[in-house]
Amino acid sequence: MKNKYLLSLLAALGFSGCSNNEDILDIPLYYGPGPVWPREDITIPSQTQDEDGKTINGIRVVASYVNLKDSLITDTAYTKLQDIDGQTINGLAINTLKFKDYPPKGKEIFLEYTDVDGEENGTYQQKKIKVQELGQDGKVTLKKEEEETKE
C-alpha cells in the first residue's frame, strides 16, 4: 500500500515520464539546446595519391552530411594544382561546408572520391570515407582500376 501512494506521488510530480537512454538510440534526455556546432563555415582540404604516393589530379571530391531538416547537403571540389600561401600543391581539393546556413544533424561527414578525367591520369576506383578517417595529413590513397584482360 505504501508503494502505491509513493508511485502515485511520483507520477503526479512527473517522474514516471523519465527513463534511461538505452531504449531510445542513445539520445540524451535533457531539455534545452542541442549540441553546439561551429558558427562559421568549415573547410576540409584533402590530397589524393596513388598507391606509390604520387599525387592525382582529375578526381571529384564530394563532401556530404545531413542537416537538421534531414536534407543531404553536399559540396563538390576537384583535385588540381593549387597555390596556397606561395606553395604549389598538386592533387588538392578543398571542400567548404556551410555549417552556418545548414547546421548538421549528426557528426557524420562523408567524403566520396571519384575519378572523372577518364584515362588522362590513369583510372582509379571510387572511394567513400568518413571525414574522421582522413588523418592529419589529409591524404587519401586511391587504388587503380584493374584493366580488363582481352582474350
pLDDT tens digits for 32-59? 555 555 667 888 999 999 999 999 999 9
Q: Which helix (H) or strand (E) holds 112?
A: strand 110-115
Task: Report pTM.
Answer: 0.69
Gap between the Cα atoms of 119 and 9, Å rounded: 74
Using one digit for the tens of pLDDT, what is the confidence trace for 5-21?
766 766 676 665 555 44
The structural domains of the chain, ordered by start, are 42-141 (2.60.40)
Q: Is 71 strand, coil or helix?
A: coil
